[in-house]
Amino acid sequence: MNHRLAPIAIAVILLVFCVCAPAQESTPQAVSTVRVAPPSPTATAEELVERAEILYVQKSYLDAMDYYRAALKKQNSAVTWNKMGITQLQMGRDNEARTSFEKAVKLDKAYPYAINNLGVVYYTKKKFSRAIKYYKIAIELREATASFHSNLGAAYFSKKELNRAMAEYQRAFLLDPTVFERNSRIGIVAQLSSPSDRAEYFYLLAKMFAEAGDLDRSLDYLRKAMEDGYKGIEEVYKDKKFAELRKDPRFNELMASKPVAIPQ
């Protein structure tokens, strides 16, 4: 089965569609109120899916689902069920999304993206151990997928297993240095809703990038951590992983400016 999906820059989307920005709970996204013509009964499954993808990008999620349903009546496809689930997840319909992802997996038990997205559903429900189970299965099936490791890292992070989280984030970064800054159309990177969790997440990434020698990104995430009110910011003066960053004049400028925490 061909599992290649049309790319979308999210981390995508992450929502891969991959999120690779810090993950936030599944909340309904703004939906276009402009309805389009109903699916043509003479259109092929491929044409209906193509139209659904365009509608998805336009945030016409209800119309996109209509077209996915029409396509599924013509061709029962794991890939299409996965895309349907992603659309439902974007609308905050977590239970419907789980059903769609399960149908995708039933059709193709080795489909890593649908399995990863099942993990995302459980992550949004704060069932982190179960999410980890699905993320690990997806990684076993397709190890070299940055978003899967990023998602697994987010689940470990939410369980406060920071060493494991860091290991997964580092693996994700090695596979794709842009994984934390984009989204992808094949899987969804879960996101963090709590300001304190986001601040800690950003600090963790700042440390990771500093250790990797990417001082630009390290400074950027350090600033974000401060803006989200990270309470342990003084650690940056002692942690050996920030040793090179502390030599950068921009570091002193940032710390002297003391970015004010952005109100939530």
**What does each of the 264 residues of the chain score in pLDDT, given as a tens digit?**
444 333 222 233 344 433 333 333 345 555 555 678 999 999 999 999 999 999 999 999 999 999 999 999 999 999 999 999 999 999 999 999 999 999 999 999 999 999 999 999 999 999 999 999 999 999 999 999 999 999 999 999 999 999 999 999 999 999 998 888 764 444 544 456 677 888 899 999 999 999 999 999 999 999 999 998 999 999 999 999 999 999 999 999 999 987 766 554
Task: Report CA dihedral (176, 178, 183, 188) to the nearest 10 degrees.
Answer: 40
pLDDT of residue 29: 58
Q: Which amino acid is at 116?
A: N
Helices (H), the chain: 45-57, 61-74, 78-90, 94-107, 112-124, 128-141, 146-158, 162-175, 195-211, 215-227, 243-246, 249-257
Q: Whats the size of the chain, residue-wise? A: 264
Bond from prior residue into 17 cis (ω within 30 degrees of 0):
yes
Give me the pLDDT at residue 3, please: 43
* Nearest-10 Cα torsion for 60, 95, 164, 140: -90
Residue 32: per-residue pLDDT: 56
